[in-house]
Amino acid sequence: MERTVLVGVDGSAEALDAVVWAAREAERRHYRLSLVSAYVMPVAEAAFGWPPEAIREEAQGVVRTARERALETASGLEVVDSVIVDSPVSALLRQARDAAMVVVGLRGRGGFPGLRIGSVAYRVAAHAPVPTVVVTGTVPEEDTEVVVGVSGTRRSDHVLAEAFEAATLGGKRVRAVRAWSEPILPSAGMRPLLYEPEAVEAAQARELEEELRPWEERYPDVAVVRDVVEAPAVVALTEAGRTARLVVVGAHSSRGITRLALGRVAHGLLHNATRPVMVVPVR
């Protein structure tokens, strides 16, 4: 099966930013680019509704514009497109089954003013079976480092695999972030017995080094920077990712409540990051 980067487009500026990022990434990986515009047909009784032909023509115009932007970014790219009558979330999740990656803009045209992230981006990132990149803030033109959050669990392998693969295609550097915090006790002023911040940080650093060792051996051309930070994970990753090409984090990949399926760290990062975020489903 041909490897595909799937992009949801709706005519918004954010969606076109996603197309630019996805086109560059597809060119790096030698994948094809698939553009999808989805819309829900209004019920016949809806007042002031557009005729079906006009709605479809609008959607076709959206994918034409997206195709033009993609080919301006990567002229030799193979680009396919489709217009689907379905909700954008359902259409993208269904198409994602045959894709290697999904890319969406932070918000679409239907978002409320002041809303940080749209429901389509949020729900796709939480439930897609493949990594989802939410293009937030600035789309970097330069090949800077890839930042990855390393949680210290076996689930990190999926996340590290995506981070190192992305880095080997551009930038050649991974910044691995391990965030930790002092345990919180119910009574104010109490500290856990034998709690020594220096010892905790040293232990975290050793665990991080052990976790990264097989990936450094597998990707010898990728430089690795280790950051062990006493801070909430969202804060540490947001700060580390301010100049990154990509920030990679894991999600729970569950069919449950969207926020719980996404996970606390991914949820917070999508609301705070200023660079594209890849959410990797882990189980």
Per-residue pLDDT at 73 exceeds 90: yes
pTM for this one?
0.89
Within-domain flag for 140: no
Distance CA 261, CA 266 (A): 10
Per-residue pLDDT at 224 exceeds 60: yes
One domain for residues 118 and 26: yes
Per-residue pLDDT at 114 exceeds 70: no
Within-domain flag for 206: yes
CATH number at residue 50: 3.40.50.620
One domain for residues 200 and 248: yes
Per-residue pLDDT at 193 exceeds 90: no
One domain for residues 186 and 126: no
Within-domain flag for 141: no
Within-domain flag for 46: yes
- How many residues in total does the chain contain? 283
One domain for residues 270 and 248: yes
One domain for residues 61 and 168: no
Q: Which of 135, 158, 189 is the last residue of a domain?
A: 135
One domain for residues 161 and 128: no
Within-domain flag for 111: yes
Distance CA 94, CA 122 (A): 16
Per-residue pLDDT at 99 exceeds 80: yes
Confidence of residue 108 (pLDDT cuts 50, 70, 90): low
One domain for residues 177 and 276: yes
Question: What domain range includes position 131?
Answer: 4-135
- What digits encode the pLDDT tens for the residues 37-71? 998 876 555 545 567 788 889 889 999 999 999 99
Per-residue pLDDT at 240 exceeds 60: yes
Confidence of residue 253 (pLDDT cuts 50, 70, 90): low
Average pLDDT of span 75-99: 95
What is the number of structural domains in the chain? 2
Q: Which of 86, 108, 135 is the last residue of a domain?
A: 135
Segment among 18-32, 69-83, 84-98, 239-253 with least mean pLDDT: 239-253
Average pLDDT of span 150-160: 82
One domain for residues 116 and 202: no
One domain for residues 156 and 253: yes
Tokens 């050649």, residue located: 172
